[in-house]
Amino acid sequence: MLPIDLSGKRAFVAGIADDNGYGWGIAVALAQAGASVCVGTWPPVYSLFTKSLDRNKFETALPGGGELKFEKIYPLDAAFDTLEDVPADVRENPRWKDVPNYTIQECADVFKKDLGEKSLDILVHSLANGPEVKKPLLETSRKGYLMAVSSSAYSLVSLVQRFGPLMRPGGSVVSLTYMASERVVPGYGGGMSSAKAALESDTRVLAFEAGRKYGIRVNTISAGPLASRAAKAIGTIEIMVDYYKKNSALPECNTAADVGHTAAFVCSALGAGITGTTMYVDKGYHSMGMNPDALTLLQTPATT
């Protein structure tokens, strides 16, 4: 047997606030493989998430036995590198004000203080935010576009800058991207498609730079649609899931567990030769040239 064995490894998953998204699916798979999992949660939802965990609101049973228990849960706002970057209105906002040390630098500092100099093996970036995601690119403001790229793409660069030094050689970084980076997906607006294109390009460059500097690998998973909390904000997610089910190479939609298993594999020693790569976990949707749905159109005689 060739097992995925992450026992003795520690992961930090940035971008979990409930049990519906890809971050949770990845945390489950990493824990199943034996890793200890720490979490970074966005300040506005930090209190709700930790309280919901305490009240057993989430499905924490691990497939095959055991329970998902987080080693630490840190507040993290990946839009800010240091406290000086946080505008006064955010700093004074009650949703941030009562939460300590949430910038990326502060979070890395607290992580290091809690867990030690070289204490991290796996860094997962499972977060995105595009305030104008519902707007077509043609109507997106400069501010909205830059916020999408800042929160959803530069955040990976900043996390690797600040957590990279804490990672043990052989460690692995993985993020989540979407095929709208390379093909037009109507409805995925506000500069989010640009942010995902940047994320994929940065994955290649970081794989080289952090590979040479820290001996770690950097990959991104291009996942199909999932009705997560963030995706529901786009407004078309149910249509997308249905469309993928009908039109992927395999006539179904990927699950968070599919993505979790791929992340666990690529972060394990079995993925030691893989870096700088965009890996599709979308039941083969990305490889289709003409979608089966179109056949129904071809079979319908034109009326004019």
Q: Mind telling me the catalytic residues? A: 178, 188
Q: Does residue 203 touch ligand NAD according to CB under 6 A?
A: no
Tell me if residue 29 falls in helix, strand or coil.
helix
Residue from 171, 189, 225, 271 binding ligand NAD (CB under 6 A): 225
Residue 271: left if φ>0, alpha if ψ -120 to 50, beta else—which one? alpha
When asked if residue 176 is in the footprint of ligand NAD (CB under 6 A), the reply is: yes
Question: Is 77 among the residues that bind ligand NAD (CB under 6 A)?
Answer: yes
Q: How far is the CB of 16 from ligand NAD (least distance, A)?
A: 6
User: Of 79-138, which residues contact ligand NAD (CB under 6 A)?
Assistant: 79, 126-129
- CA–CA separation, 26 vs 53, rounded Å? 17
258 near 273, Cβ under 8 Å?
no
Site membership for ligand NAD, residue 173 (CB under 6 A): no
Q: 12 has which bridge partners?
A: 38, 123
Q: For ligand NAD, which is the closer residue by CB, 243 or 265? A: 243
Say how far apart CA 58 and CA 188 lie, in whole Å: 29
Residue 229 contacts ligand NAD per CB under 6 A: yes
Where helices occur in the chain by DSSP H, the ranges are 22-32, 43-54, 88-92, 94-97, 104-115, 142-149, 155-163, 192-214, 229-232, 237-247, 256-267, 293-299
User: Could you say whether residue 228 binds ligand NAD (CB under 6 A)?
Assistant: yes
Question: Is residue 262 at the binding interface for ligand NAD, with CB under 6 A as the rule?
Answer: no
Task: Give the 3-state DSSP-derived string for 45-97, with helices as H, strands as E and coil as C.
Answer: HHHHHHHHHHCCCCCCECCCCCECCEEEEEECCCCCCCHHHCCHHHHHCHHHH
| CA angle, residues 12, 18, 21, in degrees to nearest 5 | 75
For ligand NAD, how many residues bind (rule: CB under 6 A)?
27
Figure out which of the listed residues 26, 99, 123, 226 binds ligand NAD, where binding follows CB under 6 A. 226
Q: Min. distance of Cβ 88 from ligand NAD in angstroms?
A: 17
Find the binder of ligand NAD among 230, 263, 266, 279 (CB under 6 A).
Answer: 230
Please give the Cα distance from 208 to 217 (Å, whole number): 8
Q: Which stretch binds ligand NAD (CB under 6 A): 52-60, 107-115, 132-140, 227-235?
A: 227-235
Q: How far is the CB of 141 from ligand NAD (least distance, A)?
A: 18
- The footprint of ligand NAD on residues 5-24 (CB under 6 A) is 15-17, 20-23
Q: Which positions touch ligand NAD (CB under 6 A)? A: 15-17, 20-23, 42, 45, 76-79, 126-129, 151, 176, 178, 223, 225-226, 228-231
